[in-house]
Amino acid sequence: MSTADLRDTDAEGWVCVTCGTALERRSVDITYMASVFKVELPRCPKCGFTLIPPELALGRMLEAEKILEDK
Amino acid sequence: MNGFYSGRSNEHSTESVCPVCLATLPAKLMRRREDSEEIVLLCRVCPQHGVFEEVVWRGEPALAQWHRPKSPASNLSRQTAAGKGCPRDCGRCPGHAQHACTVLLEITQSCNLRCPVCFADAGNGDPRHVPLDLLLEQLAWIREQAGPVVLQLSGGEPMLHPRLPELVEAACRLFPAVQLNTNGIALAGETGKGAAFAESLARTGLSWVFLQFDGTKDEIFTALRGRPLLRQKLQAVANCKAAGLPVVLVPTVVRGVNDQDLGALLRLALSLAPAVRGVHLQPMTRSGRNAFADDGATLTLPEVLAELCVQSGGMVKKEHAAPPGCEHERCSFHCRYFLTRKGELVPLRESSACCGPVAGTADFPSGHEADAAGRESLGRTCCPMPPRSSCCAASGDREDVERAVDVILRSWRGDAGSTADCECAGLNDFDRFIAEARAQSFSLTCMAFQDARTVDLERLRGCCVHVFSPPARLIPFCSYNLTSTEGVPLYRKKRV
């Protein structure tokens, strides 16, 4: 399974509000209805908090969700 | 939960009609065992015509495992008042519980076949086409009353209508999808006429062709359509493919005629994918011209599924089938797949995979890995069964129906003519998944229409496939086609 870059998601400038740690781009597994999608997203190296940008949540992630969902 | 579904009771009260006089009667679904199989009978007594018992479900999955409750639709437009009682107030009356996801518009009574099984009783030499001006008014009314549904143009044979391209163009401006229900003979026309017709329809924006396609042998077409048609059907598919028009194969399934050809038909459909987007099976009903015989030729949903499982060599499994979220749960099943490059079907989800906690995970097979990962990979290891009754229940509200329309579009329109781009460098898993799903999805669906012997008014009230009936009615499909065993229709005009 290759991990591809979600280039429009920049980690720079984001800080985890719980840990006070700068977010880093990390490979993240997003699971929905038993399918796993690997993407690189800004993630807190300490607690694992992950930033999902609105354009992903309301764009490709939503479309994938609709495909997997049932009539 | 209803005791019938939980297994605490072997009876469920509903309503039906007398098959002879169509009088509304109280009825019961009765669970029995017959030859080690579970069967469900629809039982009622007509004071005038006696006792009627019809098998409406046979085998696995048992009805107790086939439950998808829905709340009645709110904000549903009503065109008729309650008065005579179900099913005589159709149009839609205040008792109807579901929006339409699909509306049928019959644009002609003319047909170039005279099929012995025609529920519309079309092709009786009636040359009438509905004038384009009137059809445009009807389209606008349907859009206003039913909302953004899938519009099905039907007949008769709609391709005989001389203004069809203009009509499709107008319909495409109003509806998210326009489906053409056709026998395909015009699409297979000689000397390039069929190809030209397909190209002209593709230019109108037609979403997909719903192609009558009963099997892989000419004798099947001869039995059901009156003449051998396999070569023409294949030519019609080829012409649609060349024009970029998606095709759904629609067989009428009849016990003893083509019920043993379903595996071969599925393999043929897969060989024609992705131009062919799916197979939509319709067990024969006794309506219209075909109302009279009572020979047990109608298969129930589990029987069709069982035949598919056996005849596909295990490619189709019972667990792949799910009850519908739009029409009534006892009216259909659907299986949604990815088609791998090796021609294998990988289920997009299994019916047991509900929205509950995930017990394990599996990677989505991306790019070149798709074939190798195959069956081990997609959407499998979810929760066993129960939460479906709550978490997947549909409300019947407009947004649920819009979601159903969206699923239909994704399944049948897809991205015909293209194949998934496996050179996905630079794309993430979401992009890859979406691209493959668009190009390589394949649906296997079955709709059990009802007739005077099998009609269950509970199912009828949950119907989401409506027929436009002039001047201003939307009638559930099975009600519109209901015909007594003496040949008397409830709604369709009697034609001799």
Q: What is the pLDDT of residues A26-57, one digit of tens each?
A: 988 888 776 778 888 899 999 999 998 888 88
Give start and end residues of each alpha helix (H) in chain A.
54-55, 61-68
Give the domain-ending residue among B65, B82, B110. B65
Q: Structural domain tally of chain B?
A: 2
Task: Judge whether residue B177 has pLDDT over 50.
Answer: yes
Both tokens assigned to B261? 């050809």
CA atoms within a 13 Å half-sphere pointing along the CA-CB vector of B373? 19
B115 and B60 within one domain: no
Does B83 fall in a domain? no
Nearest to B334 by CA among B437, B441, B181, B260: B441
Residue B35, pLDDT score: 86
Residue B376, pLDDT score: 34
B438 and B303 within one domain: yes
- Average pLDDT, integer, range B50-68: 92
pLDDT (tens digit per residue) in B293-314: 777 889 999 999 999 999 999 9
Alpha-carbon gap, residue A27 to A41, rounded angstroms: 6
Cα-based torsion angle of the residue sequence A51, A64, B150, B194 in order, rounded to the nearest 10 degrees: 140
Does B395 fall in a domain? yes
Chain B residues with beta carbon closer than 8 angstroms to that of A34: 349, 353, 358, 360-362, 378-382
B116 and B13 within one domain: no
Does B122 fall in a domain? yes
Does B496 fall in a domain? no
- Specify the DSSP element, H or E, that contains A19: none
Residue B293, pLDDT score: 73
Of B324-333, B352-361, B442-451, minimum mean pLDDT range: B352-361
What CATH number does the domain located at A1-71 have?
3.10.20
Chain A residues with beta carbon closer than 8 angstroms to that of B433: 35, 37, 64, 67
CB neighbours (10 Å) of residue B169? Answer: 15
Does B407 fall in a domain? yes
Task: Judge whether residue B461 has pLDDT over 60.
Answer: yes
Task: Judge whether residue B169 has pLDDT over 90.
Answer: yes
Report CB contact under 8 Å: B363, A1. yes
- Average pLDDT, integer, range A5-25: 80
**A55 vs chain B: nearest CA distance in angstroms?**
13
Closest in A34, A37, A39 to B358, CB measured: A34
Are B115 and B225 in contact, with CB atoms under 8 Å apart? yes
* β-strand partners of B335: B444
Interface test with A, best of B430, B434, B436 (most A CBs within 10 A): B430
B155 and B12 within one domain: no
Closest in B324, B358, B432 to A71, CB measured: B324
Residue A7, pLDDT score: 52
pLDDT (tens digit per residue) in B424-447: 445 678 887 887 777 788 999 999
B291 and B167 within one domain: yes
Chain B residues with beta carbon closer than 8 angstroms to that of A61: 430
CATH number of the domain that residue B306 is part of: 3.20.20.70
Are A36 and B363 in contact, with CB atoms under 8 Å apart? yes
- Average pLDDT, integer, range B113-121: 87
Nearest to B254 by CA among B233, B219, B217, B285: B285
Residue with tokens 């859009």: B143
pLDDT (tens digit per residue) in B11-56: 999 999 999 999 999 999 999 998 889 999 999 999 999 999 999 9
What does the H/E/C string look like for B354-367?
A: CCCCCCCCEECCCC
Residue B55, pLDDT score: 95
Say what the ipTM of the complex is: 0.76
Does B89 fall in a domain? no
Within an 8 Å CB–CB cutoff, is residue B376 touching chain A? no
Does B383 fall in a domain? no
Does B78 fall in a domain? no
B323 and B202 within one domain: yes
Closest in A5, A31, A40 to B361, CB measured: A31
Tell me the Ramachandran region of residue B22: left when phi exceeds 0, alpha when psi lies from -120 to 50, beta otherwise: left
B111 and B7 within one domain: no
B241 and B126 within one domain: yes
Looking at every residue in chain A, the average pLDDT score rounds to 80
B37 and B182 within one domain: no
The residues in B 333-362 lying below 8 A from A, measured between CB atoms, are: 334, 336, 348-349, 353, 355, 358, 360-362
B117 and B61 within one domain: no
- Average pLDDT, integer, range B373-383: 31
* Backbone φ and ψ of B391, nearest 5°: -80, -20
B106 and B61 within one domain: no
Are B462 and B302 in contact, with CB atoms under 8 Å apart? no
Write out the residue range of the structural domain in which residue B27 sits: 3-65
**A63 vs chain B: nearest CA distance in angstroms?**
7
Q: What is the arrangement of strands in the sheet containing B37-46, beginning at the earlier edge strand?
A: B11-17, B24-34, B37-46, B50-58
B402 and B293 within one domain: yes
Alpha-carbon gap, residue B169 to B164, rounded angstroms: 9
Within an 8 Å CB–CB cutoff, is residue B325 touching chain A? yes
